[in-house]
Chains A and B, each alone.
Chain A
Amino acid sequence: MEIQSPQFKEKARNALANEQLQRAMGKAKTGFISKRKKSVEALPEFEDLRSSARAIKDHTLAHLDLYLEAYEEKVKASGGHVHWAETAEDARQAVLAICRAAGARTVTKGKSMITEEIALNDFLEKEGIRPVETDLGEYIIQLRGEHPSHIIGPALHLNKEQVEEDFRRVHTQLPEERDLSQPESLLGEAREILRPQYFTADVGITGANMLIAETGSSIIVTNEGNGDLTQTLPRIHVVVASIEKIVPTLEDASQILRVLARSATGQDMSVYTTLSTGPRRPGDPDGPEEYHVILLDNGRSSMLGTEFHEMLRCIRCGACMNHCPVYHAVGGHAYGWVYPGPMGAVLTPSLVGVDKSGHLPNASTFCGRCESVCPMQIPLPRMMRHWREREFERGLNPATQRYGLGFWAFFARRPRLYRLATSLAIPTLSGLAGRRGWFRSLPLAGGWTRYRDLPAPQSRTFMQQWQARSGAPHGREGGDR
């Protein structure tokens, strides 16, 4: 997917003006938040679980090479194949080689953000292979030629009327008078259309919520069961997963599962939690004949040991965006790449460069709600600030901002001069407002006054009044150095 994050402001404005989107976002946010809250409150040990989940990932990341190699051994031992992919292109080529060797024409796909990251669908289509998304949300946006707007609810930006419209447009073989007014009827129709696809597909591609080093298994969690059909019915199952998905043991995986669904959808567990370990064994009633895992790096190993290291703990639950006021306001597409919200604001610059995605870590109020709900206790605001530092160091932020900041800092670092300047400016500004008390507009303050009035300063500065009141300055005189 081509990065459109440089157009964040424009996209955000359009999103704010899009009534339909605003309606969909309004509904989405209240549901996620209340469900998570209820499920977390029902579990007194939830905070301890967060800490232990975090510890598991911290330990794994500290020994990532070791666990990845152990995992590879186990996959091989169970008859599967492991393909190491340093870049998105490596991963795409690995998938293509598998498809070509199988003579594949159609692949079914379980919901996977990593295949969004490597833009697999567009690539396969160009190569003459038809990808079929089987997750309802993914299926809908595939019909619309869109990308997910949320990492666990890809079609969160849509209302059901729009989905009905799309289904009627595409499923022309079905009777026109059918009722598609309810979510259930939409789901039923998607199921009817998708079910035969599992049997015609030559390859099923899924992501992985976790990879287990101890057993060589991959885990997916879903609520629709489409992932299971994708990975058991076609002749070949391909797992595409990034390297930080690894956890040491089955026990560790089950610990993390306890915080995953609760943080994501407020469920204790997702409806389906499916482990895959290698291809079908003799005597197995079903399962693929071939089992492949493509392990993608795509920039992640270069985050290790940096100030963005902790981002690799992310388990993609979406809680950060579900609780983000900026995400609520503009939706996921405004962010302009695969990963939206706070986790996207940290991860995107790591994967595509801060020069192309500088808006994302800047478009945050640092309210800290994301960090407070993150099941992996990732300090998202802190890392967004680190990206701002990288931008500042490289001179990437706008010149007006830099000059403004430099001007302000010059005074802020010289208390005596600052007091002198403010003791002249503030009474002037206060006088300018007169008895009104408000400014409706003010030169250089357009960013503020476009949408709100600016209260005028009361009169003189506090420092002026305090000095006048006390006669002599209290405390140490602030000398400029």
Chain B
Amino acid sequence: MNEDTIKKPRIGLFVTCLVDLFRPSVGFASVRLLEEAGCTVEVPMAQTCCGQPAYNSGDREDAAAIARQTIEAFEEFDYVVAPSGSCAGMLKKHYPSLLKGTSYEKRAEAFSAKVHELVSFLVDVLGATSVAAAGKGGSVTYHDSCSGLRELGIREQPRKLLNSIEGVEIREMENADVCCGFGGTFCVKYPDISNKIVEEKTACIEATGAQTLLAGDLGCLMNMAGKLHRQGSPIKVRHVAEVLAGMEDDTPAIGGGGR
């Protein structure tokens, strides 16, 4: 081991299933941001999903099995970072209670202490106040996804880093902290209600006049992007990591076609 690897924090990237399947660019943006911030990033192959679909459907057994599998895959790292407040919240806040009273209780607690959502990790743990990327700039509006906001206290961190990019103007929407109606399986179990909630959200987004909608969770983003597109809105939708990593030029916005 040389000196360099000793000093650099070793990160296990929890990609999240939606990023893995639908939008790998968010994963690469995460890697770029973490590496630029002086970390070594590795991606354990034994990861699939955080287990929320099972956990929130009342299936504790499958959720616990997935939790154990994720802990095993990641516990060797200094930190576990995920580009999602919802998945990071699951790993950090819910794994310990899910595995309480089992042989994994202690491991789950130790694991939990290492877990962070990407942007809050950059700001709160690494002390970042700016990002190297110089993007295209323009006006953006930021939606605070529920789990990140209320379980992990993520609100100022993404705004701080966005403000450090020259030419980026944040136009706050009304009710930025109100749910977008995604809710995981909720959006397909109760599509009528989910639709009503996302309609209210897109009205708030449109009212800002911003060119781009950003958030830190791909599930919420796909929901809002899907609604905006159905409504014929020209607003571009992206994960905040892509903007922070300066990847706008080579990566079309959500729904903008493959590469």
Contacts and interface: CB of A to CB of B under 8 A. Distances in A.
A101 interface: no
Contacts of B258: 430, 433, 435, 437, 456-459
B227 A462 contact: no
B79 interface: no
Interface string A1-34: 0000000010011001000000000000000000
Interface in A403-423: 405, 408-409, 411-413, 415-416, 418-419, 422
B103 to A, nearest CB: 15
A472 to B, nearest CB: 10
B65 interface: yes
Interface in B31-67: 42-49, 51, 53-60, 62, 65-66
Nearest to A438: B255
A4 B22 CA distance: 39
B135 interface: no
A49 interface: no
Interface stretch (A62-70, A256-264, A313-321, A365-373): A365-373
B193 A438 contact: no
Contact of A473 (B45, B146, B252): B45
Contact of A325 (B42, B45, B69, B197): B197
B188 interface: yes
A402 to B, nearest CB: 9
Nearest to B30: A462
* Nearest 7 interchain pairs by C-beta: A478-B46, A365-B183, A447-B188, A392-B58, A452-B226, A388-B58, A475-B44
B65 A385 contact: no
A401 B227 CA distance: 24
A15 to B, nearest CB: 9
Contacts of B44: 474-476, 478
30 contacts: A363-B189, A365-B183, A367-B146, A367-B183, A389-B59, A392-B57, A405-B59, A408-B54, A409-B54, A412-B48, A412-B51, A412-B66, A415-B46, A415-B48, A416-B45, A437-B255, A437-B258, A438-B226, A447-B187, A448-B188, A451-B191, A451-B195, A452-B198, A453-B255, A458-B258, A460-B24, A462-B20, A466-B27, A478-B46, A479-B46
A365 B59 contact: no
Contacts of A462: 15, 19-21, 24, 27-28, 43
Contact of A366 (B183, B188, B189, B195): B183
B52 to A, nearest CB: 9
A16 B184 CA distance: 21
Interface residues of A, number: 74
B216 interface: no
Q: DSSP majority for the A interface?
A: helix
B151 A368 contact: yes
A273 interface: no
Interface stretch (B108-116, B122-130, B174-182, B206-214): B174-182
Contacts of A455: 22-23, 222, 225-226, 229, 254-255
Interface of B: 12, 15, 17, 19-25, 27-28, 42-49, 51, 53-60, 62, 65-66, 69, 73, 76, 146-147, 150-151, 177-179, 181-184, 186-198, 200, 222-223, 225-227, 229-230, 252, 254-259
A453 B227 CA distance: 6
A362 interface: yes
Contacts of A368: 146-147, 150-151
A413 B69 contact: yes
A419 B21 CA distance: 10
A12 B181 CA distance: 15
A418 B48 contact: yes
B192 A478 contact: no
A93 interface: no
Interface in A326-368: 326, 328-330, 362-368
Contacts of B66: 409, 412-413
Interface in A434-467: 435-438, 445, 447-448, 450-463, 465-467
Contacts of A12: 190, 192-193
B192 A13 contact: yes
A457 B255 CA distance: 8
A474 B227 contact: no
A191 interface: no
Nearest to B178: A325
Interface string A53-86: 0000000000000000000000000000000000
Contact of B22 (A435, A445, A457): A457
Nearest to A464: B24
